[in-house]
Amino acid sequence: MNSLGLNIILRMGCLCSKQSVRINGKTYYIRDRLGEGGFSVVELVEDARTHEMFALKRIPCHNAEDQKVAMLEVESHKCIQHPGVMELLDYDLKSKVDPLEDLSSELLILMPYYQRGTLFGELSRREVRKLYFAEKEVLRIFRCICEAVEAFHTLQPDPLAHRDLKTANILLDENFNPVLMDLGSTTKARVDVKEHTEAKQLEELAAERSSMPYRAPELFHVSSNLSIDERSDVWSLGCILFALCFFKSPYDIVYERHDSVALAVVSGRIDIPPDSPFSEELHNLIKYILVVDHKERPFIQDVLTRLRELEMKNQGCV
CA distance 176 to 200: 39
The torsion angles phi and psi of 8, rounded to 5 degrees, stand at -60, -45
Has 78 been labeled as part of a binding site? no
Active site residue 173: no
120 by DSSP, 3-state: which? helix
Exposed, middle or buried: residue 129 (CB in 10 Å: 0-12, 13-18, 19+)? exposed
CA distance 231 to 216: 9
User: Which one of 32, 90, 158, 164 is the catalytic residue?
Assistant: 164
CA distance 31 to 29: 6
Question: Minimal CA–CA distance to 231: which of 308, 183, 310, 289?
Answer: 289
User: Is the distance from CB of 40 to CB of 59 less than 8 angstroms?
Assistant: yes
Query: Residues annotated as binding site for ATP?
Result: 57
Q: Binding site: what residues are annotated?
A: 57
Q: What residues act catalytically?
A: 164
